[in-house]
Amino acid sequence: MQRLRDLRDAHERLKHRIHNFRIPIRNKYAYYLTVSMYVAVPFVCGLKIMEWTGASERARMANTPEGQARLRELYHLDDEEFLADLQNSKDAPLSAEQAVAIKRGALE
């Protein structure tokens, strides 16, 4: 039992040491860079998570007839001119193959 207490106490001392460690930032440019990173990293990660969840939601929607109808409405898939532009676009929300498959109702 004593070994477990010693291990727990050592772990608590280590946590205290780690969480109380500070690096002073004296250079104002380094400080602003650090603050910018603290703001930008969660923002960028949040955007990536939103993109990922949106893509998975579109994939789930494409598996049901109601979802396919909604995707056709959202992405104007009944518009032949839009589909032609989609095939030539590099940054489309859907690939041209996905659009045609949704239009046909065959996206898996």
- Give φ, ψ of 20 to 5 degrees: -100, 0
Express each pLDDT in 27-80 by its tens digit: 999 999 989 999 999 999 999 898 888 777 766 766 677 776 777 777 766 666
Angle, helix 80-88 to helix 96-104, in steps of 10 degrees:
150
Is the pLDDT higher at 71 or at 82? 71
Distances (CA, A) of 78 to 29, 61, 102, 108: 53, 17, 10, 19
* Whole-structure pTM value: 0.41
Domain borders along the chain are: 62-108
Q: How confident is the model at residue 107 (pLDDT cuts 50, 70, 90)?
A: very low
